[in-house]
């Protein structure tokens, strides 16, 4: 059996999808914030990644 061909028509996503996108956006924001903080600390000789102080 093969997956049925997907329609290229842009139908609406199911309701859960927007919450999923919101959560992944939050995860990206955390990654950017923690990375920026860690690199700032390290490049100023103040510490490092959380847990490596």
Partner 1 sequence: MKTHKVEQLVIATMGFFWCFLMWFSTAAFSPSIAAHYHLSIKALGLLASSAIWMAPVGRVVAGWASDRFGAPRTFAVILTVCGLVSIASAFTQDYSLLFAERVIVAIAGVSFVVGIQHVAQWFNADEIGTAEGLYAGTGNVGAGMGALVLPRLFGTDYHTAFLWLGLIALVVAAWYLLRGRAARNAEQIALTRRRSDFRSTAFVWSRYIAVALMLAYAMSFGLEIAMNAWLPGYFTHGFHGAILALGFSSVAGLQIAAGTFAAVESFCASLFRPFSGFMSDLFQRNGWTPLPFIARTLPYAPRLHWLGIALILITLAMGGLTFAGMTGSLHASVLTLVALGVFISFGTGGTFALVPLLFPDRPGTAAGFIGGISTAAGIIYPLVFSASTNIHMGYLTVALYMFVPFILFYFWAARHERRPEEHGIFTEALAVEKA
Of the candidates 28, 46, 27, the one whose C-alpha atom is nearest the C-alpha of residue 37 is: 46
Q: Which residues contact 49 (CB under 8 A, 6 or more apart)?
A: 34, 38, 42
Q: Tell the smallest beta-carbon distance from residue 22 to partner 1 (Å).
A: 11
> Does the protein bind partner 1 through residue 22 (CB under 8 A)?
no
Q: Tell the smallest beta-carbon distance from residue 52 to partner 1 (Å).
A: 5
Q: Tell the smallest beta-carbon distance from residue 10 to partner 1 (Å).
A: 6
Q: Which two tokens stand for residue 28?
A: 């990206």
> Does the protein bind partner 1 through residue 40 (CB under 8 A)?
no
């Amino acid at each position: 059996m093969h997956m049925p061909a997907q329609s290229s028509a842009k139908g609406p996503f199911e309701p859960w999808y927007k919450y999923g996108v919101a959560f992944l956006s939050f995860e990206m924001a955390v990654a950017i914030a923690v990375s920026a903080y860690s690199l700032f600390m390290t490049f100023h000789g103040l510490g490092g990644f959380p847990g490596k102080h």
